[in-house]
Amino acid sequence: MSNYHIKQFEEYFQVYRKSVRNPEQFWEEIAEEHFTWKKRWSNVLSYDFKKAEFKWFEDAKLNITENCIDRHLHTRGDKTAILFEPNNPDDEAEHITYKQLHERVCKFANVLKSKGIKKGDVVCIYLPMIPELAISILACARIGAIHSVIFAGFSATAISSRINDCNAKMMITSDGSYRGSKTIDLKSIVDEALNETPGIESVLVAKHIQSDINMKDGRDFWLAPLLEDTSSDCAAEVMDAEDPLFILYTSGSTGKPKGMVHTIGGYMVYTAYTFKNVFQYREEDIYWCTADIGWITGHSYIVYGPLANGATSVMFEGVPSYPDYGRFWNIVEKHKITQFYTAPTAIRALAKQGTEFIEKYDLSSLKVLGSVGEPINEEAWHWYDENVGKKKSPIVDTWWQTETGGIMITPIPFSTPTKPTYATLPFIGVQPALMDENGQELKGNQVEGRLCIKFPWPAMARTIWGNHQRYKDTYFSAYDNMYFTGDGALRDEVGYYRITGRVDDVIIVSGHNLGTAPIEDAINEHPAVSESAIVGFPHDVKGNALYGYVTLKDVGESRNHENLRMEINQLITDRIGPIAKLDKIQFTEGLPKTRSGKIMRRILRKIAANETDQLGDTSTLLNPEVVQDIINNVK
């Protein structure tokens, strides 16, 4: 028997040792015993860190939807696979059984085929958190099309640049979405994006908010009538384990977003195995991850990981504050949620409301609480533990990334003793290393450095779509024979890891990764702006908020600064989306630069964080005088 389900701390160590002593044998056993393959692999793993090439389960054939749906039909056909909780609490929740999911995915897959989508084609999806989102993803996977989900909060410009980058042929969207008391007209955003995307041949539109929208003849099609006329038989395409499953964009510290490519076999094995253990999932559980499927957390831990285990996975369309701040707890009580997985920013926002909203609801069904997306601060950790978990439900602080595909550092609940703000220990098969700035590995405990991973794991991203060189440069060139995460971390006296935050120019705002470069590019488009620099500063709900230092072309210009601020934020909203708006904008005479002309963000970060006593030596700057000027005029 393989070690599919770890139940004790001792067992964790045993299995961990086995997984790193002989990774190939370990993953082979897991893959063999718990998944359905159409053909076995010829080789478990081959890799070359220098070329940044990694292959797991080479030559194996499978279809991930057979693993996530078909194989459960005999034993769990009438079990709820997806439990959809709509935005409006008065609307009924929808229980989609595995049988129904099978039928809906097959029909959807046939619709894709009827519109000319074939294996290897890229399909972009821009949908709210409604069942069609999960179903369209699975329908792509059924026929071997590569899905690329774009979070439905991104702007038209962000959508078109992603569509063009991945050469998508089709877009799947809806008339609109509900967000609390608001509705958002998604289709008009898509229409604007599609003015710039010659490659898109067809658009499928789900009717959701019943709004009046523009449908372009010959290009746009309502989904419902197409689905109605379609057969529910759709054989699963035979895929190679290393064929791409999806592309998901994530911010980089420079340049445009990176289309991270995940492949089928390794991703499936790893997300399923981590889901089972990190959430100690059992057959009767009702699992809820509050993330949006537009992010990696939703891909791996709303769709693929849970369904591969035959779980019931909740999809929530709404927001935590609607109709009031008790909504999450209302849902926990209503569906008797057993595992609840959310982000620190949500916990902080809810904690701000006090405990009055929590006390109204029975949360006794909860067994495991999860946190993901950014470091969880001590206060939020304790609030979560005391008020939500009633000190009985272990908190799994799970560290991972879009690039890692699945959870990498985490406690195993009921086994690993937790420690506030610590992601604790590497998951099975994960070999972390802390590196110093000179490229030396920091051995032993009580050290702090840059977090790297020393050995391949099955769910690692395989490349950046269309730009393998960038993949190699970003992740595999900082240190030899290692994957560099971009995060800093420390290892405490017992070997527990605590993630200290990004060491590059990615800023995590409310759990969303934002690169400084695209935001600065958007600001610099403003005709009055000469230069800009963005840094993060601590924010009590969002974790970090954005501070922009902006120099104007005509310094003496008497334009109203408040108007300029609004215009700049509007530009950011148009180019990227409202999540990237700046909280503070300071107009400066200049930006501190090194003699080679590089903006010294480190200094700007200290000023934004009000730590001006820790600026260090500024005398070597090209223009040291601007520093004092900036400090004197802090926003």
Which residues form the interface with ligand WTA (CB under 6 A)? 250, 295-297, 371-375, 397-402, 423, 485-487, 499, 502, 508, 513
Residue 472 to residue 484: CA distance in whole angstroms = 10
96 three-class SS = strand
Q: Which residues pair with 182 in a beta bridge?
A: 179
Residue 295 to residue 299: CA distance in whole angstroms = 7
The answer to whether 485 touches 453, Cβ cutoff 8 Å, is yes
Question: How many angstroms separate the Cα of 226 from the Cα of each of 171, 237, 390, 464?
Answer: 15, 21, 48, 34
Residue closer to ligand WTA by CB (options 369, 585) is 369
Question: Cβ of residue 421: shortest distance to ligand WTA, in angstroms?
Answer: 9
Residue closer to ligand WTA by CB (options 510, 586) is 510
For 200-249, give the secondary structure using H, E and C: CCEEEEECCCCCCCCCCCCCEEEHHHHHHCCCCCCCCCCEECCCEEEEEE
Question: How many angstroms separate the Cα of 261 from the Cα of each of 154, 170, 247, 463, 570?
Answer: 20, 18, 5, 6, 31
Question: Cβ of residue 403: shortest distance to ligand WTA, in angstroms?
Answer: 7
Burial of 61 (0-12, 13-18, 19+ CB in 10 A): middle
Residue closer to ligand WTA by CB (options 513, 586) is 513
What is the DSSP secondary-structure string of 468-530? HHHHHHHHHSSSTTSEEEEEEEEE-TTS-EEEEEESSSEEEETTEEEEHHHHHHHHHTSTTEE
The answer to whether 237 touches 106, Cβ cutoff 8 Å, is no
Question: Cβ of residue 508: shortest distance to ligand WTA, in angstroms?
Answer: 5
DSSP H or E stretch at residue 113:
helix 98-114
167 three-class SS = coil
Burial of 556 (0-12, 13-18, 19+ CB in 10 A): exposed
Residue 64 to residue 72: CA distance in whole angstroms = 12
Question: Cβ of residue 341: shortest distance to ligand WTA, in angstroms?
Answer: 11
Question: Cβ of residue 598: shortest distance to ligand WTA, in angstroms?
Answer: 23
Residue 370 to residue 388: CA distance in whole angstroms = 11
Residue closer to ligand WTA by CB (options 144, 252) is 252
Task: Please give the residue whose beta carbon sits closest to ligand WTA in the complex.
Answer: 402
Residue closer to ligand WTA by CB (options 197, 280) is 280
For 571-621, give the secondary structure using H, E and C: HHHHHCCHHHCCCEEEEECCCCECCCCCECHHHHHHHHCCCHHHCCCCCCC
374 three-class SS = coil
Question: Cβ of residue 110: shortest distance to ligand WTA, in angstroms?
Answer: 33
Residue closer to ligand WTA by CB (options 213, 576) is 576
Question: Cβ of residue 383: shortest distance to ligand WTA, in angstroms?
Answer: 16
Residue closer to ligand WTA by CB (options 401, 416) is 401
DSSP H or E stretch at residue 172:
strand 170-174
551 three-class SS = strand
Instruction: Please identify which residue in the block is written with the tokens 């689905």.
Output: 227
Residue closer to ligand WTA by CB (options 180, 501) is 501
Instruction: Please identify which residue in the block is written with the tokens 């086994």.
Output: 415
Residue closer to ligand WTA by CB (options 102, 512) is 512
Residue closer to ligand WTA by CB (options 423, 627) is 423
Residue 227 to residue 220: CA distance in whole angstroms = 14
The answer to whether 105 touches 73, Cβ cutoff 8 Å, is no
Residue closer to ligand WTA by CB (options 176, 406) is 406
Residue closer to ligand WTA by CB (options 194, 489) is 489
